[in-house]
Amino acid sequence: MLADLPHEIVHLILDKLSRLDPNAVWNVCLAGNHELYRMALPFTWRNVYFVTSPEHPPGEFSRLVDAFMASEERVLAARRVLFTFIGPHSHRGIYDALEPHLKSFINVTSAFIEFLDATRRTPIPWHGQSGGTPLYTVQLIAGSLPSLSSIRVEGCQDRYVEPWDDLPPSQALKRVVTRYCSDDLAELWAMTPGLQVVEVQGGIVGGVWGDAGNYTRTYGNFSYDPGVSVNGFLREDMLSKLTQLHLLHDMYAPKFHANNECEDVVSMLTDLNCSLPLLVELILDMEFEVEEFQVVWTILRTHAPNLKRLKLTIGADFSRYKPQDAKELLWSLDDGPGQFMALEELWLPVDGIQDQELVISTLEADTPNLKLLLLLPPQEREESLIRSATEMLAEALEDLEVVSWHNNCDVQISRGVDGGVVSSVKALSPMSWWAEGFRGVGEL
């Protein structure tokens, strides 16, 4: 039984439960064991939820915050704070309720802030209006939690609002994750020099002009500055510090916005005058054309020497995958300087069977140490054909361990003592956990 385990083990279990399933911690409290109740109760306060909506009576949010903050034990036990703002809200009311208390959350390392549509209760898409001044609400929270290392923001749609100069985000902030936020939020993250992980989906693509004609191109709510404009966010000095970067296309945007996103990312990488020495994971889940894909691939070969995990997608007419374009794509990845010597996991948007010889020649030249390969056959294939194709890939790539055939199965490769392929078996669980869309890389 849980009560019979050493207290240190029980604490580790409760800590894990508080992250994965907070309700399970409450179930432990209700088990009828006084000692378990004593140990589990503080873990029920690890995740703190504050919600406000137009349906709540005036002053309800402030009373909710004051009631929780009345107990120092609860405040010190908190590790993650989640704020939900439904419909238009008054920033002044939020400020008055939170400002006196936020600095007391000295152990909170993660925050999730979402602005939801009052009717649909869903994250506000790129063309939505959230009302109030969401950016100031985000800045208050990000700048007041002293130990904040990870933040996730959804639906912050302020336009033409400048952050306060005297309240930068926590200097401990390392991870930023956003969805459907306006590009004005970029100026807030520009105050944070130590970011290591960035994930963004959607937002508004546009241009911000600065002095002397310098301009900032924006992808989602992250800005790329080719000049000296202070509005830029993903500047070279910040790019060079990133370990993980995820940019995902805006599913709500019309096609010309999707094209702008791709053009901006290609421009950002083309203008690089530095390497990306710390980057180990790059996911660009966007509507790249074949030519853009080739440009990005070629640049990364020479500028990202430690890249271990790479996902580049390709699409046309807003249809995300066109495996029939595989030959054109693979032929475009011609020989050039550099190799992906550290690359271990790769999403490659090609069939992998009809074009197998091209796939093998490309990967042998560019990714000699690959361990996991995800391919995109356009329809289901027979398992025997999948396994045969996997073994041919494994013969060419000596370190290959798994081939994931999208919408089919994952195949695990078995090797003998000499490294030769002995057999291949269908994997019991998918290996490509990293390859599926938005996942929120911040710890929440």
pLDDT on residue 63:
92
Q: What is the CA radius of gyration of the chain?
A: 24
Rounded Cα distance between 340 and 303, Å, is 10
Find all residues with CB under 8 Å of 84, minimum gap 6, and list them. 49, 50, 51, 52, 114, 116
pLDDT on residue 380:
76
pLDDT on residue 128:
38
Rounded Cα distance between 374 and 406, Å, is 7
183, 208 Cβ separation under 8 angstroms: yes
Please state the domain extents for the chain: 1-45, 46-193+213-236
Q: At what angle do helices 7-20 and 22-29 cross, to 10 degrees?
A: 140
pLDDT on residue 41:
64
pLDDT in tens, 205-221: 332 222 333 334 444 44
310, 369 Cβ separation under 8 angstroms: no
pLDDT on residue 143:
94
pLDDT in tens, 233-282: 677 778 888 999 888 776 555 443 455 677 778 888 887 777 899 999 99
- Residues of the chain with confidence (pLDDT) below 70: 1-43, 118-132, 159-161, 202-233, 250-260, 316-326, 334-336, 378, 407, 427-444
DSSP letter at 227 equals S
Closest CA to 110 of 40, 46, 160, 35: 46
Which tokens hold the place of 31?
């088990």
Which tokens hold the place of 228?
């000296």
Rounded Cα distance between 424 and 41, Å, is 48
Rounded Cα distance between 352 and 354, Å, is 6
Three-state SS at 55: coil
Which tokens hold the place of 333?
């990845």
Closest CA to 275 of 320, 236, 217: 236
Rounded to the nearest 5°, which phi and psi values hold at 203?
Answer: 115, -175
Rounded Cα distance between 239 and 42, Å, is 39
Which tokens hold the place of 23?
């309700």
Q: Which helix or strand (DSSP H or E) is residue 245 part of? A: strand 244-248
